Copies of this chain bind each other. A is one copy, B any other.
Amino acid sequence: MNSRLRKSREFDLITSLFSKSRAPSFDLGIGDDAAVFSPPSNQSLVLSIDTSVEGRHFPAGFPPEFIAKRALGSALSDIAAMGAQPHHFTIALTLPEFDTVWCERFSTGLYDLAEQFNISLVGGDTTKGPLTISIQVHGLVDKGNYLTRSSASPADLIFVSGCLGDAHAGLLLALEGKELTEPYQQALFESFASPTPQIALGMAVNGLASSALDVSDGLLADLEHLCCASGLSAELELSAVPLSDDLLKYRDYDFAMQAALNGGDDYQLLITASSDKRQRLLELGFIEIGAMLADEGSVLSAKLNGESVALPEKRGFDHFE
């Protein structure tokens, strides 16, 4: 935490809430102008920063535990997509007012997830203003050994690490604001509120996958990013896109497919791999949903049970809409 945190009882409390990490591998942790870290000489640092804004990434009044879990979980997902092991993180927290209970609940959610992935909080800044959370996560990989989104090859197969669309349904449930009485509703809500970064799978496919990214903007938008970065096109088989039973209990198939294609926030991995890796990937739980095409136009096309179908024009969610 920088020095601005150390001036009042409020600041002291925030500092104590966010100074629980011991960060044993750090030369110097929280409490000075900066933290100091000496990465192992055979490893590279993987770094990514992500922002969550109230009213845009989560609804106003969202439970603080989940604001924290969602912010850290989605940030960790970028590390998963690189095939890296997360190591530590920093947080820039902007709060409209000081609220002990809110801060304690936020801190509880943050440390729950941090402990689950064995990562330390090593620095931060707390300021007053509209509720905004930026988290920078750092991971480690063996030197030169990381996944990118730009390295897919023509004829590679396309896989996802799990069901899509649940998080979008969970967001709609959160916005409805009704009590979640059914287990499937709770499951969908948590898909949105507490996404699981696919760290273990990311590390497992490092060396198997030809390219990777995480599905944060919706399958179509993220597959388009992968196509653009790799200079290729892709064809999906829509009947293969995995939809959860929970999602299909919430709404009908058409809704579920739209949520899977355009909903975003699922934080599953989207990877490509050559066909000789197919069996290994299926054993790891990946689901095959299409193939890359040599066409350089970065065009997405789709089939449904083998017949060509049109894809929706709108892809993903534009934060500036």
The residue in chain B whose Cβ has the minimal distance to the Cβ of A80 is B33
- The 8 A CB mask of A94-125 against B (1 = contact, 0 = none) is 10011000000000000000000000001111
- Stretch binding the partner chain, chosen from A4-12, A240-248, A284-292: A4-12
Instruction: Report whether A92 and B32 are in contact in the complex, using a CB–CB cutoff of 8 Å.
Output: no
- Stretch binding the partner chain, chosen from A144-152, A168-176, A231-239: A144-152
CB distance from A3 to the nearest CB of B (A): 5
Instruction: Report whether A217 and B3 are in contact in the complex, using a CB–CB cutoff of 8 Å.
Output: yes
The answer to whether A78 has its CB under 8 Å from any CB of chain B is yes
In the assembled complex, the Cα of A147 lies from the Cα of B191 at a distance in Å of 44
Whether A50 contacts B213 in the complex (CB less than 8 A), given A128-B56, A129-B132, A315-B7, comes out as no
Q: Which of B44, B81, B92 contacts A33 (CB 8 A)?
A: B81
Q: Which of B3, B97, B228, B317 contacts A225 (CB 8 A)?
A: B3
Instruction: Report whether A50 and B7 are in contact in the complex, using a CB–CB cutoff of 8 Å.
Output: no
**Which residues of A, 22-38, contact B by the 8 Å Cβ criterion?**
27-28, 31-38
Instruction: Report whether B35 and A46 are in contact in the complex, using a CB–CB cutoff of 8 Å.
Output: yes
CB distance from A253 to the nearest CB of B (A): 26
The residue in chain B whose Cβ has the minimal distance to the Cβ of A151 is B32
Instruction: Report whether B41 and A41 are in contact in the complex, using a CB–CB cutoff of 8 Å.
Output: yes
Instruction: Report whether B123 and A34 are in contact in the complex, using a CB–CB cutoff of 8 Å.
Output: no
- The 8 A CB mask of A134-156 against B (1 = contact, 0 = none) is 10100101011010111000000
Q: Which of A8, A125, A134 has the most CB of B within 10 A?
A: A134
Which of A's residues lie within 8 Å of B, judged by CB?
Answer: 2-4, 6-8, 10-11, 27-28, 31-39, 41, 43-57, 78-79, 81-82, 84, 90-92, 94, 97-98, 122-130, 132, 134, 136, 139, 141, 143-144, 146, 148-150, 212-214, 216-217, 221-222, 225, 228-229, 315-321
